[in-house]
Structure 1
Amino acid sequence: MPATELLAHLTDTLAALSAGSAAFRPALVPREIGVVLSVAAGVVRVSGLPGAGAGELLQFAGGLYGLAYNLDETEIGVVLLGEDARLSVGDEVERTGRVIDIPVGDELIGRIINPLGEPLDGGGPLLTRQRLPIERPAPAIMDRAPVTVPLQTGLKVLDALLPVGRGQRELILGDRQTGKTALALDAILNQHDKQVLCIYCAIGQRAASVARVVATLREKKALAYTIVLVAEGNEAPGLKYIAPYAATSVAEHFMEQGRDVLIVYDDLTNHARAYRELSLLLRRPPGREAFPGDIFYIHSRLLERATHLSPALGGGSLTALPIIETEAQNISAYIPTNLISITDGQIYLSPKLFEAGILPAVDVGKSVSRVGGKAQLPAYRTTTGNLKLAYSQFEELENYARFGTRLDEHTQRVIDHGQRIRSWLKQPELHPMSVPEQLVVLLGLTSGYFDNIPVEKMPEAEALLARSSLGLPAELLLRLSAQQPLNPADQAALLACAKTVLAPFQEQPAAESD
C-alpha cells in the first residue's frame, strides 16, 4: 500500500475513534457498600446501606450471603446464610437488589440440595432454567378448589380412620422416638404409582438421621420421584429458618404445572427454635417461652401455601405433612397448639402405644382429620362403619376389666372385638398396603370374621388375606380404587374371599365333656 493511502486510512481511523469517544457516555451504576459493625452467632449488624429493603439478599466479601431482617434507623440486622468464620468487623457488604430465590424444575427430582439450591449429593451442578423466590404469597381463596381426592398413605389406620386429602395440611406430632418420620416416610413410599411428587425437607436433623432416610428412599427406589432438601442441625440458624420456605417454592413450581405434590417438614420444632435464636440475637422482644411474637405468623404463612388449586389454574395440589416434637406428651404446649390451629387435623403418636409395641403408635382418640373424610374413597366409608366407636368403647371397657370384675357376655364380645381391632392397627414399618389389601381385611374385621381367630394368629391371617386379595378380578380391583361406593356384588365377593381364607384360622369350640 502506498504511503499516501496508508496515511489517509490512519487519519480516517483516528477521526472515527475521536468521534466515538466523544459520543461515549459511560453508564454510571450506583453501588451501596456498607461495613460490618458486629458479628454474632449467625447474625451480623451492618451500616451504610440506606436503600436496603426487608428480605433483600446482601453479599459479603468472600461470597457469603445474608438476609436483611432488622431495618433500624442507622444499621441493619442481617441473618447469615452460612458459616460466619470468615467474617470480621470492618468487612464490606454490598446490596444485590434481589430477594433470596431457589432453582426449580424437573432437574431437581432425585437430587439432594441445601436451602440455597446447591447440590449435596455429588451428582454435578443443577442446570435449571428457572428460579423462584422462597417467600411467595399463598394462593387466594378464589384460586382454590375443595379437597376431593384422597392421598393414600398405605397405612391402614390413616387411610381408614384418619384420611388425608390432596391439598390438606395434616400435622404429625408426638414425643421424640415415637415414629413420626417413619410415618411420613411410609406415606412417601406409597406414592410410587400414584403420580405424586414428594419433597422431604429436613430441618435441623442429625446428619446420620438424614443419611438413613436418604438410604431408605434409595433402597426402595423412591428417590426417583422425591426431592430431598436438607438443613442439618450443625448448620447456620439462617439456613434452618429458610429451609421450609425454599422447599415449598420448589413444590409450588410443580403444583402450578398441574401436578400433585406431597411435602414433609421434619420438623417445625427445630424451625421455631432456629427462628427464636435469630430473634433473640437480633434483640427482638421475646414473648411466651422466649419465642418472638410473630412465631405463629411464620408458620401460618408457610402452611397456607399448601392447597388444591382450581381447575382454571391447572388443578394441582400441595399436601403438607408438618412434623412437631412434643415434650412429655404435652400437646397443649405453645408451638403444638399453634400448629394444631393452623392445620386441618393432627395425627398424634403416643409413647405408651409405642412402648406396648402397637406400631404405628397412632392414638386414634386424640387424632383427627378435619378435611380428609370428604375426600376418602367411598369404599372405605362403606366398610369402616362404627370401627372408631367400637375401638373407643373397647379402650374404656378394657380399663374397667383390669379390676378383675366378672364381665357379661356382651361386654366380653366388645373386648374381644376391640383386641382384634388393636391387632389390625399394627403395621410393619416401610410396608405400605394397597387399597384392595386394606379393604378386604377391613371388611373381614368389621363383619366379625376375625373374632373367632386367636389374637396371636391375627398377623398371619391378616397377611394371608391381604395377599389373596391381589388375586381378585382386575375389574373388581379397579372399582375398589375408584371414586364410587362399594356395590353389594363387590362386597359379597370380598366377604367370600375373607371367609375362605380365614376358615383355617378359626378357633374351634372346645368339645363338651360327658
Structure 2
Amino acid sequence: MALPSAKAAEREHEVGFVVGAKQYLLSIEGLPSARVNDVVADETGNRALVRALSDEYVTALALDAVLPRSGARYGYLPQPHLFSLGEHLFGRIINALGEPIDGGEAFPAGNTPLVLDVDAVGIESRVPMREQLYTGITLVDTLLPIAKGQRQLVFGPLRSGKTTFLTDIVLNQRAYGVVCIYAIIGKSLSELQIISETILRKEEQAPNIVIAALSGQLSPVVALAPAVAFLVADHFQKQGKDVLIILDDLDAHAKYLREIALLEERLPGRESYPGDLFYQHAHLMERSGSFDKATGGGSITTLPVIEADSKDVSDLIPTNLMSCTDGHFSFDGALQAEGLYPALSEEQSVTRVGRHAQCLVQKQLSTRIRMLLGAHRRQREYAQFGTQVSEEAQRVLHQGELIEHTMRQERYQRIPADVQVPLLALTLTPFLLERDVAFLDGHKKALIAGLQEDSALQDLRQLARTDTPLTTYLERLEAKQEIFETLCRA
C-alpha cells in the first residue's frame, strides 16, 4: 500500500546508521518510517532488505556483494525497487533482483514493485483444472498427467535425471505457448550454463525465462528467488497466459532460510529449520492454480524440486512439500543407471489432479495400463523364485515388457499426446501382442513417424483427444492393422 505523499516526502529525508553487522545481517539505528520488506540503500548504492523492526533498531539483510561497515549511512531509495516485467524477459537470464546478468540489452524502466508477502488468490476466483499440461513424455502424459495449475513435486537422488526431465518439459511447452520460468536456486555457475544453453536457444525463440540465484551469492538474495519467480509468473498469468514455474531446488532454498534464521538467533525447530518453514513454502505453493477471467484467466503450474532419496522421504523438507502439493514424481537412481528415460518410478509417483484433465480414452487407457503393469510386477516377482510359469503368466510378462518398452523414450524425444495414445494402445492389440519386444524396439520409430504423418491414421489422432470409449478406440485401431504392417515393412 502506497504512503500518502506527505509521509513519502518525509521518508526521503530519513536516514539510519549501521550500529551492528553480523555477516549480511545489519542492525540499523534510525529510519523511523521503515516497513518490513522495504529496500534501503547506503551512499554507494548497496541495498538491504528490511527484515524486522524493534524499538531500538531496524534489522535488514544486505543484498549486494559489498558488505557495509559499522557506521554506514542508509536511506530510502528515491524510487522503490521496481522490476521490469514484460515479453522482453523471454530468452533472458535475470538475478533474484530482476536485473539482467546475461550480457544482453538493458531492460526498459521498471513497472512492478518488489512485493514479497503476497496472499494467494481466493477460491472464488479459481476454476477447476480441466486442461492438461503436455510434457511430450508418454509415461507422464498418460499415466501421471499434470493439469495446468497443478503443484507437482519432483524429487530423487543426485544424478537421477531430474534436470534433463525438467528441461525436456520446458522445451515441449513452446508448441503450446506456455511461458516457462526456471528458477535456479543455490546451484553452481556451470549448472546455470547447462540449463540456460538448453532452454534459451535463440533459434527456438521460446517464451522461457531463467532466474539465477547461485550458490556464490548472498543467502538473502538466494532466498528471494522463489518469490520473484511467482512475481514474474503473476504478471503473465494476469494477461491470460499459462505459466510453468520450476523451482530447482527448494531443498537448497530451505537451507538458506535456515542459515538466515540461525544468524538472526531465531528459535530453531526440527532439523534446525525455522519454525515457519512450512508456512513459507506452502504460502508460495498456494499461488499456483487455474484462474477465472476476472483474475486475468491463465494458470500457474509449479514444479518444486528437491534432492531426496526416493526410499526415504521422512525428512522435514520432503514431507512438508508432499503435504502442500498435488502429487509427486519419484526419480530412481537405479533406473537412471540402467539407461532408462525418464528414470521415473511409476509405482512410487502420484498425481491427484491431472487425471481430471484427461479425456475419456486417455483415462481408460491409463487405468488399463496401470492394472497390466501391476500384474506384470507381481508376476515378475513370482518368477524370480523359479516357479513354473504358466502360459497366462507368460502372456502377462510379455505384455508388461511391451508396455515398458513403449513408454521408454530418448532424451529430448518429444512425442505428441495424440500419438502417445494410439502407440500405447497398440500394446493391447494382436498387432504387438503376437510379436516379441525386439520387433517393437526395431520398428518403434517407424510407428511414431507413421502415426504423426500418415493421413490414413489421422482419425486415430483426432479420437485420441475425445471422450471415445477405449473399447471403441481399440476397434478402430485394430482395423488399421494392415497400415501398421506396411509401416513396419518400409
Give the Cα–Cα distance (whole angstroms) in 1 for the partners of residues 110 and 460 of structure 2: 42
Residue of 134, 144, 156 corresponding to 1:162: 144
User: How does 1:314-353 map onto structure 2 within 5 Å?
Assistant: 314-327=296-309, 329-353=311-335
Residue of 69, 72, 89 corresponding to 2:70: 89
Shift of 1:235: 0.9
Report what 2:51 is aligned to.
69
Report what 1:389 is aligned to.
371
Residue of 25, 31, 35 corresponding to 1:53: 35
> Closer, same or farther in 2 for the Cα pair 1:447/1:47, shift >3 Å?
farther
Measured against aligned partners, the alpha-carbon deviations of 1:350-382 in whole angstroms (never above 9, x if no partner) come to 112222222211111111110110001333124
Q: Which has the larger radius of gyration?
A: 1
- Quick check: 1:247 aligned with 2:224? no
- Structure 1 SS opposite 2:425: helix
Report what 1:512 is aligned to.
none
- Quick check: 1:172 aligned with 2:129? no
- Structure 1 SS opposite 2:245: strand
Report what 1:22 is aligned to.
none
Determine if contact 1:203/1:232 at 8 Å carries over to the other structure. Answer: yes
Determine if contact 1:144/1:308 at 8 Å carries over to the other structure. Answer: yes
Measured against aligned partners, the alpha-carbon deviations of 1:41-79 in whole angstroms (never above 9, x if no partner) come to 332222223332112212123211111113233223222
User: How does 1:396-415 map onto structure 2 within 5 Å?
Assistant: 396-415=378-397
Report what 2:175 is aligned to.
193
> Closer, same or farther in 2 for the Cα pair 1:35/1:369, shift >3 Å?
same
Task: State the identity %.
Answer: 31
Residue of 340, 349, 352 corresponding to 1:358: 340
Determine if contact 1:469/1:497 at 8 Å carries over to the other structure. Answer: no
Shift of 1:204: 1.0
Determine if contact 2:310/2:332 at 8 Å carries over to the other structure. Answer: no
Report what 2:431 is aligned to.
449
Shift of 1:212: 0.9
- Quick check: 1:107 aligned with 2:93? no
Supply the AA of the counterpart residue of 1:177. R
> Closer, same or farther in 2 for the Cα pair 1:222/1:296, shift >3 Å?
farther
Determine if contact 1:199/1:228 at 8 Å carries over to the other structure. Answer: yes
- Structure 2 SS opposite 1:173: strand
Give the Cα–Cα distance (whole angstroms) in 1 for the partners of residues 411 and 64 of structure 2: 36
- Equivalent residues, number: 479
- Quick check: 1:202 aligned with 2:184? yes
Determine if contact 1:441/1:498 at 8 Å carries over to the other structure. Answer: no
Gaps of 5+ in 1: 1-26, 507-514
Determine if contact 1:150/1:377 at 8 Å carries over to the other structure. Answer: no
Report what 1:116 is aligned to.
97
- Structure 2 SS opposite 1:94: strand
Measured against aligned partners, the alpha-carbon deviations of 1:239-283 in whole angstroms (never above 9, x if no partner) come to 111111111111111101111111111111111111111111111
Gaps of 5+ in 2: 1-8
Q: TM-score, normalised by structure 1?
A: 0.87
- Quick check: 1:369 aligned with 2:351? yes
Deviating more after overlay: 318-327 vs 381-390: 381-390
Deviating more after overlay: 125-134 vs 231-240: 125-134
Measured against aligned partners, the alpha-carbon deviations of 1:112-139 in whole angstroms (never above 9, x if no partner) come to 1111111112111111562143422211
Determine if contact 2:451/2:461 at 8 Å carries over to the other structure. Answer: no
> Closer, same or farther in 2 for the Cα pair 1:278/1:497, shift >3 Å?
farther
Shift of 1:384: 2.9
Determine if contact 1:68/1:78 at 8 Å carries over to the other structure. Answer: yes
Determine if contact 1:33/1:93 at 8 Å carries over to the other structure. Answer: yes
Report what 2:484 is aligned to.
501
Supply the AA of the counterpart residue of 1:479. Q
Report what 1:182 is aligned to.
164
Give the Cα–Cα distance (whole angstroms) in 2 for the partners of residues 143 and 348 of structure 1: 32
- Quick check: 1:479 aligned with 2:485? no
Residue of 391, 396, 405 corresponding to 1:423: 405
> Closer, same or farther in 2 for the Cα pair 1:189/1:48, shift >3 Å?
same
Determine if contact 1:350/1:361 at 8 Å carries over to the other structure. Answer: yes
User: How does 1:301-316 map onto structure 2 within 5 Å?
Assistant: 301-316=283-298
- Quick check: 1:276 aligned with 2:255? no
Determine if contact 1:265/1:321 at 8 Å carries over to the other structure. Answer: yes
Give the Cα–Cα distance (whole angstroms) in 2 for the partners of residues 97 and 338 of structure 1: 40
Deviating more after overlay: 262-271 vs 447-456: 447-456
Shift of 1:408: 1.6
Give the Cα–Cα distance (whole angstroms) in 2 for the partners of residues 55 and 305 of structure 1: 19
Give the Cα–Cα distance (whole angstroms) in 2 for the partners of residues 461 and 66 of structure 1: 61
Residue of 430, 437, 446 corresponding to 1:464: 446
Shift of 1:466: 0.9
- Quick check: 1:125 aligned with 2:110? no
Q: CA RMSD in A?
A: 2.5
Supply the AA of the counterpart residue of 1:215. E
Determine if contact 1:170/1:343 at 8 Å carries over to the other structure. Answer: yes
Supply the AA of the counterpart residue of 2:83. I
> Closer, same or farther in 2 for the Cα pair 1:375/1:97, shift >3 Å?
farther
Supply the AA of the counterpart residue of 2:13. R
Q: TM-score, normalised by structure 2?
A: 0.91
> Closer, same or farther in 2 for the Cα pair 1:332/1:452, shift >3 Å?
farther
Determine if contact 1:104/1:128 at 8 Å carries over to the other structure. Answer: no
